[in-house]
Amino acid sequence: MTIMSSLLSNQLFKRSGEPGAVVAPFVGLLIIVTLFASVGNLAFSETSIFYVSTYTITLLGKYLCYAMLALAVDIVWGYCGILSLGHAAFFALGGYGMGMYLMRQIGDRGVYGNPLLPDFMVFLNWQELPWYWQGFDNFGFAMLMALAVPGLLAFVFGWLAFRSRVTGVYLSIMTQALTYALMLAFFRNEMGFGGNNGLTDFKDILGFNLQSDTTRVALLATTAFMLSVTLLLSQAIMKSRFGKVIIAVRDTESRSRFLGYRTERYKVWLFVYSAVIAAIAGALYVPQIGIINPGEFTPINSIEVVIWVAIGGRGTLIGAVLGALLVNYAKTRLTAIFPEAWLFALGALFVLVTLFLPKGLFGLFGSLKNKLVSSKTSSTAEEVA
């Protein structure tokens, strides 16, 4: 059985009641909300009650990027049991790929007016553009590198780790060490990525002004589209024979190996797929936020993503997305009111969910739905009797 044949044999939409059956309705709702927000920003004046501010558009775009990152973590943790504490590395690498393209688009509009070198290189007395910056003035090449580099890194790391049968907490520590090492490297000015300040002061993307409302709305729509595509594709993968093997590896890897499956190969390809999704999220994040710096590599970011997934419900796809949206919305609101208390509130929420809602909020909704259906069935049976 090949990986491709197992994917092609899958049916995308399953009957209601099976895991992932709510993906299509959620995608429909996401499209409706995105359209409403886009029309509210572009078609109504600021005095209208239907007006959606550009700040809100940017905030929604950021939330959706985080949702895509949470989805990437849920794919490997919820379905394969790989607790990665280093997915912030793939997110940041994708962001740097986009940031390098955006920096090359500035040209002579920078502070120093150098048409070739970014401002930070001129400030550091660099005489020529490093070889690894070549080609990033082309959008297609930049996006290819933004996905290929994190994917290649995930492949090499996964192949070495899974082939050596590193699992559990040891693997989690290794992923955390990976992102921490990259953070330290990108902080160095001689690396050529802006050092502590990172890459910022972007002007336009594909010739469109990044500060215009139309561009902001287009970026939000693109992010919503990519989240929808990755959700549907992930659902297809998890419901295919490939996905069934992945779940079997999560539950009993030794038995799966005994049955003849090369479990390390399945884990490597799922890890690479997850890393590419995280890189896409990072590439879409940067033009909306306007900056990428080594702080995105910090291990605490990866740990926070794990908390989003745990709160939403791992192994559900939609739960991870909802967890990211809800937690980040709460973070936006609470940090404005009680900035010092946010981390304590997040930690307390994680502990409470772990103790009392091991399946997350999405699992709670599922349990309530099942109880409601059971009660209706029981009452109907009593009436018939």
Task: Give Cα separations from 76 to 80, 213, 218, 298 (angstroms).
Answer: 5, 36, 30, 20
* Contact indicator for 30, 227 with CB cutoff of 8 Å: yes
Beta strands in the chain (DSSP E): 199-200, 204-205, 208-209, 291-292
C-alpha–C-alpha distance, residues 236 and 258, integer Å: 26
Q: Which residue has the tokens 């990428």?
A: 292
C-alpha–C-alpha distance, residues 235 and 27, integer Å: 12
User: What pLDDT, on a 0 to 100 scale, did the predictor assign at position 223?
Assistant: 98
C-alpha–C-alpha distance, residues 322 and 70, integer Å: 9
User: What pLDDT, on a 0 to 100 scale, did the predictor assign at position 354?
Assistant: 81
DSSP string, 278-329: HHHHHHHHHHHH-EE-GGGG-HHHHHHHHHHHHHH-TTSSHHHHHHHHHHHH
Q: How far is CA 356 from the centre of its chain?
A: 26
pLDDT in tens, 16-72: 334 456 898 999 999 999 999 999 999 999 999 999 999 999 999 999 999 999 999
User: What pLDDT, on a 0 to 100 scale, did the predictor assign at position 353?
Assistant: 84
User: What pLDDT, on a 0 to 100 scale, did the predictor assign at position 382?
Assistant: 60
Task: Give me the residues of the chain with pLDDT under 70, please.
Answer: 1-21, 370, 373, 376-385
In sequence order, which residues have a C-beta less than 8 Å from that of residue 354 and are 6 or more positions away? Answer: 310
C-alpha–C-alpha distance, residues 121 and 127, integer Å: 8
C-alpha–C-alpha distance, residues 325 and 319, integer Å: 10
Backbone angles phi, psi at 14, to 5 degrees: -105, 170
C-alpha–C-alpha distance, residues 282 and 295, integer Å: 13
